[in-house]
């Protein structure tokens, strides 16, 4: 992508109402009140947030590969980290299904911290190698 | 790569992540409005993640070939 295109793209993101950067990216995933108990809702929310964060990370990886920003090896390293976290999220989901609500929430929240760090690393590493 | 270009690139990656988040939130809203249960929404988010893993792997494999 040329510098001019980059600047145009970013300008649009900052200026156009309704575009990604103009919206609150910390908007909660769930709007509706859950009928489940508070601890189950908290555990489920942590699991859902972790899955949403992983999806976002994976899509940025795909985009950076398709744009030929990263080498296959570099992208594979990030994707492997993402897949490993995904398996842990699935474990948390299974814990929730088995009724281990607190354990599920603790597991999912711990994964989310790791994922936020991964997402930041991906952003700062994004185009360094170009 | 110049510092400014690198900052712009970082900005684009963060922006992409923000756009993806918005897309996912919108998908969850649609599910909520259609009357999906919390468990069905969790299933949908899990599938979304699994599909995104497959798409990323396919993109990497394509670049390798």
Average pLDDT score over residue span A51-71: 91
Distance, CA of A45 to CA of A53 (rounded, Å): 12
pLDDT confidence of residue A22: 41
Among A10-19, A108-117, B10-19, the minimum mean pLDDT is found in: A10-19
Domain edges within chain A: 37-130
What's the CA gap between A64 and A130, in Å, rounded? 11
Facing residue for A7 by CB, picked from B8, B46, B53: B8
Question: Whole-model pTM above 0.90?
Answer: no
* Residues of A in Cβ contact (< 8 Å) with B55: 58-59, 62
What pLDDT, in 10s, does the model give residues B2-57? 566 656 666 666 677 778 888 899 999 999 999 999 999 999 999 999 999 999 99
What pLDDT band is residue A6 in, cutting at 50, 70 and 90?
low
Cα Dmax for chain B: 50
- Of A63-77, A92-106, B10-24, least confident by mean pLDDT is B10-24
CA of A35 vs chain B CAs: smallest distance (Å): 9
pLDDT digits (tens, 9 = 90+) for A27-38: 788 877 778 889
Question: CB–CB of B42 and A10 under 8 A?
Answer: no
How much is the CA Rg of chain B, to the nearest whole Å? 16
CB-closest option in B6, B19, B48 to A20: B19
pLDDT at A47: 94
What is the overall mean pLDDT for chain A? Answer: 80
Residue A10 pLDDT more than 80?
no
Quick one: pLDDT at residue B40? 94
Return the HEC string of chain A. Answer: CCHHHHHHHHHHHHHCCCCHHHCCCCCCCCCCCCCCCHHHHHHHHHHHHHHHHHHHHHHHHHHHHHCCCCCHHHHHHHHHHHHHHHHHHHHHHHHHHCCCHHHHHHHHHHHHHHHHHHHHHHHHHCCCCC
Question: Is A69's pLDDT higher than 70?
Answer: yes
Q: Can you tell me the distance from the alpha carbon of A44 to that of B43, in angstroms, rounded to the nearest whole number?
A: 11
């Amino acid at each position: 992508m040329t510098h001019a295109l980059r600047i145009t793209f970013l300008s649009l993101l900052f200026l156009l109402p309704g575009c990604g950067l103009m919206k609150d990216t910390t908007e909660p995933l769930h709007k509706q009140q859950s009928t489940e108990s508070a601890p189950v809702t908290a555990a489920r929310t942590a699991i859902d947030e972790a899955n949403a964060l992983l999806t976002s990370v994976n899509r940025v990886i795909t985009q950076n590969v398709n744009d030929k920003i990263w080498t296959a090896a570099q992208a594979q390293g990030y994707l492997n980290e993402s897949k490993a976290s995904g398996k842990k999220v699935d474990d948390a989901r299974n814990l929730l299904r088995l009724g281990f609500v607190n354990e599920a929430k603790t597991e999912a929240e711990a994964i989310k911290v790791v994922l936020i760090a991964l997402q930041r690393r991906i952003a700062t590493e994004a185009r360094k190698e170009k | 790569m110049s510092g400014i270009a690198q900052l712009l690139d970082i900005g684009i990656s963060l922006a992409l992540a923000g756009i993806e988040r918005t897309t996912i939130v919108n998908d969850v809203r649609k599910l909520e409005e259609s009357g999906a249960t919390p468990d069905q929404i969790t299933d949908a988010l899990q599938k979304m993640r699994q599909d995104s893993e497959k798409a990323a792997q396919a993109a990497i494999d394509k670049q390798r070939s």
